Structure 1
């Protein structure tokens, strides 16, 4: 796989950030989390204006080398043409919810909303849902891989330890 410009998509709690961080470290690539582009604050309560978020994502994707991860299909669809590799973390929704519960410290309204969001991944008919991600994945003509569980993600990460980018 040509991992020079790797885009990682998937449900909330699927392990996108975990995988992106490890790939970026191993391959010495800059890493962009689309949450930091979409949201104005760390509290995930105020969304950035759509055109501003798209502009920031395009700037990140215009770089020669990167790992970009996120579930925002409306952003991903705008930068996908720049990717050399697409990784879809297609983890079971129940596992995604469990992952979110493990990483979040306090039980508040934001967490409840995030859990409901993750639980509805396969039912949602929006740019960030399962059907939209499947459409992006199926239409992508570059190197791509679909990882179905934590073991596959971990194995893929281990395999990249021996991959280098020219």
Structure 2
């Protein structure tokens, strides 16, 4: 796989950030979480204006090497023509919700946590650009190197193949 410019998509809690960090270290490439592009303020859930977010994302994708990850299909669709590889973390919703509960250090009644858990739990039924069907369409339409990983075991095995072989990048 040519991983020079890799996009990673999937549900919240699927493991995108963990995989992106591993891949970026392997490739000696910058890693961007699209949350940093989409949100002006994560704590207050204030979204950046759409045109500004897309402009920022395009600048990132103009670099020679990168790993970019996120759930935002509307941003990914603007970058996908620059990608050499697409990784879809197609992890079941229940595992994603459990991963979010494990990683977030918030009380169970925290409004942002509740909203995030509901968001992750609805991945397969959401009809927006960040849902399962939109990600499937991006994946199926991508003509470069691509891989769909369905659980932590497959994700870890993929990372192990990076250490076990020298990919041409």
TM-score normalised according to structure 2 size: 0.96
Return the offset for 1:27. 1.3
Match of 2:89 in 1: 89
Among residues 94, 112, 124, which one is paired with 1:122 in the alignment?
124
Match of 1:163 in 2: 166
Find the aligned partners of 1:65 and 1:44 in 2 and give their Cα distance.
32
CA contact (8 A) 2:58 2:78 kept: yes
- How many residues matched? 166
Matches within 5 A, 1:65-104: 65-104=65-104
Question: Which range moves more in the overlay, 134-143 or 34-43?
Answer: 34-43
Match of 1:43 in 2: 43
Note closer, same or farther for the CA distance 1:111–1:141 as it changes in structure 2 (3 Å cut).
same
Among residues 133, 136, 152, which one is paired with 1:134 in the alignment?
136
CA contact (8 A) 2:10 2:16 kept: yes
Flag structure 2 segments of 5+ consecutive residues without an equivalent: none
Find the aligned partners of 2:104 and 2:44 in 1 and give their Cα distance.
13
CA contact (8 A) 1:27 1:164 kept: no
Return the offset for 1:44. 5.3
CA contact (8 A) 2:84 2:144 kept: yes
CA contact (8 A) 2:2 2:167 kept: no
Match of 2:11 in 1: 11
CA contact (8 A) 1:38 1:53 kept: yes
Flag structure 1 segments of 5+ consecutive residues without an equivalent: none
| Structure 2 SS opposite 1:160 | helix
Match of 1:105 in 2: 105
Find the aligned partners of 1:78 and 1:159 in 2 and give their Cα distance.
29
Return the offset for 1:42. 3.3
Instruction: Quote the RMSD (CA, aligned, Å).
Output: 0.9
Return the offset for 1:43. 1.2
